[in-house]
DNA sequence: CACGAAGTTGACCAGATGGTCAACATTTTT
DNA sequence: AAAAATGTTGACCATCTGGTCAACTTCGTG
């Protein structure tokens, strides 16, 4: 199981692939690597790791396969790079929950941010979901380390709020899961939603979702 | 796009594969086909359609590849068969929501059933999720047909309840999505949950989830 | 038990896939 | 402008994958 290195750490071994070089990047490197990550996101989010092919990714990135492999020597390296980028985006709103803020406002802001993420980054959401459904083989470490610590920290914030009578007193982890599940659903299960509500655009559905989500979750969470 | 045929319909063309024969099935057929579907569920739910290999499925079913292909001529046929079985299981609790029942009780029963499905059939849940994340290429028809009609019917039940002041008045489709998302989360994202709550068993987590889920959702849904 | 039907498999095939490499092209540096 | 570094690619290879087939074994039934 290859661990996820942060982009700033040096590569562990000699590696001619350009994407792993820590020294200065050329203009072309930066541009091509960005295109590759975008193409890879598209393909991996649709087919999962094993279902995606390097040829597909190269085509999506608008370059030849050998050219792509000049920047990322292995399919696996591309996957780790997109996954790392995605994980960072996924985590950010969660970190921003402010213990000092008003519970109702903080939670409704968090719900709004997660819903907005489902609108603007559905592929990232699906890539993440796909990795987890498949047992999170590549990011187990991060989930059990960084994410777990973060959840514990935020859970204790929710506990404080509960102790102060500001929200109801139930296991905060499950509250967090509820928010994750309901908001990510609009990205991960978009094709199901589209089939069920064919007359409404994806954007409209997410606009509509905001009301029911906040009203049910906040009504359910806040004391009367 | 191959449509999903129901198991009782005759095959569309001459087909020597045993699984598609409508006439009498031998003892061996029934047994082997069941083993294949179980093995296929295991593999497809873990790797998705493209990521799964026929060899893997054969191994999981405890037989040789040619032997497996004697019962299902194509990988695609196996996939459709498991998916069909899964879809039926997935739909059943939803159909059982009773318009004449008490809203609070009906909804809490439905939540309990879905949560129980996540406990007893996590692979089915993940297979279904995987298919939908990948754009539902095989079951678009069913989603836009049967499921859509079913959702419309149940949505109008919720609307009736809302009109009678028995639940709050928000778009019922989004309420349904909330219940689906929160309950399925415990199967689909099990590996994430396990990483975050490593001390609790899967079964315990689902036991714990029942309280927060019903209390938040019902508090959020029912009038004060 | 005999005979046809059903079930099983090793060997095989064509195409797809991840990855390499030598040769060539372009960009950057001196 | 020449040299060095960086970027690009067609052709190629080993392996994997879905699927076939002829030969063989086992099963059900009169």
Q: Chain B: give the shortest CA distance to residue A17, in Å.
A: 26
For residue A166, give every residue at least 6 positions away whose Cβ sits within 8 Å of its Cβ, in sequence order, or none. A103, A222, A223
pLDDT digits (tens, 9 = 90+) for B31-75: 999 999 999 999 999 999 999 999 999 999 999 999 999 999 999
- CA gap B185, A167 in Å, rounded: 23
A27-48 pLDDT, tens digit per residue, is 889 999 999 999 999 999 999 9
Q: Which two tokens stand for residue B54?
A: 């026929």
- Reported as a pLDDT band with limits 50, 70 and 90, residue B12 is very low
Q: In the prediction, which pLDDT does B28 show?
A: 80
Token pair 């031998």 is found at B26
In whole angstroms, give the CA distance from residue B179 to residue B107. Answer: 9
Say how far A27 CA is from C28 C1', in Å: 11
Residue in chain A nearest B49 by alpha carbon? A51
Could you report how far apart the first and last alpha carbons of chain A are, in Å? 48
Buried/exposed code over B53-69 (b: 16+ C-beta within 10 A; e: otherwise): ebebbbebbebeeeebb
* Nearest residue: Cα versus C1' of D5: A26
Residue A207 at interface with chain B, using a CB cutoff of 8 Å: no
Inspect the interface and report whether the beta carbons of A216 and B171 lie closer than 8 Å. no
**So what's the pLDDT on residue B14?**
45
Mean pLDDT (whole number) for A165-173: 96
CB of B150 less than 8 A from some CB of A? no
Model pLDDT, residue B85: 97
Round the CA-based radius of gyration of chain B to a whole number and report it. 20
Determine the nucleotide nearest to B65 by Cα–C1' distance: C9
**What does the alpha-carbon distance between residue B2 and residue B23 come to, in Å, rounded to a whole number?**
23
Q: Do B47 and A50 touch (CB under 8 A)?
A: yes
- Separation of alpha carbons B160 and B166, rounded Å: 9
* A15 vs B77: which has the higher pLDDT: B77
Q: Is the CB of A32 under 7 A from strand C?
A: no
Give the model's pLDDT for residue A26: 77
Strand segments (E) across chain B: none
Task: Return the pLDDT at A21.
Answer: 59
Q: Smallest Cβ distance to A134: which of B46, B175, B180? A: B46
Give the rounded distance of the alpha carbon of A9 from its chain centre: 21
pTM of the model: 0.92
Identify the CA nearest to B218 among candidates B95, B61, B110.
Answer: B110
Q: What is the distance between the alpha carbons of residues A121 and A116, in angstroms, rounded to a whole number?
A: 8
Interatomic CA–C1' length for residue A39 and nucleotide C24, angstroms: 27
Assess whether A32 (CB) lies less than 7 A from strand D. yes
């Amino acid at each position: 199981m290859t661990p996820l290195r942060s982009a700033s750490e040096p590569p562990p071994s000699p590696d001619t692939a350009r994407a792993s070089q820590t020294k200065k990047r050329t203009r072309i490197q930066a541009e091509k690597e960005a295109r590759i990550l975008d193409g890879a996101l598209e393909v991996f989010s649709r087919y999962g790791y094993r279902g995606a092919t390097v040829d597909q990714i190269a085509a999506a990135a608008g370059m030849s396969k050998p050219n792509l492999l000049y920047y990322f020597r292995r399919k696996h390296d591309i996957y780790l790079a997109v996954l790392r980028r995605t994980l960072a985006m996924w985590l950010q709103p969660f970190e921003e929950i402010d213990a000092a803020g008003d519970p109702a406002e903080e939670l409704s802001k968090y719900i709004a941010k997660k819903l907005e993420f489902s609108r603007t980054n559905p592929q990232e959401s699906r890539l993440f979901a796909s990795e987890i459904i498949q047992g999170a083989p590549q990011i187990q470490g991060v989930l059990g380390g960084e994410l777990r610590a973060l959840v514990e920290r935020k859970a204790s914030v929710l506990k404080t709020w509960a102790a102060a009578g500001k929200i109801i007193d139930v296991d905060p982890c499950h509250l967090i899961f509820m928010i994750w599940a309901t908001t990510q659903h609009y990205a991960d299960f978009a094709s199901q939603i589209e089939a069920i509500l064919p007359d409404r655009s994806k954007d409209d559905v997410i606009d509509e979702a905001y009301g029911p989500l906040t009203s049910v979750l906040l009504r359910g969470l806040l004391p009367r």
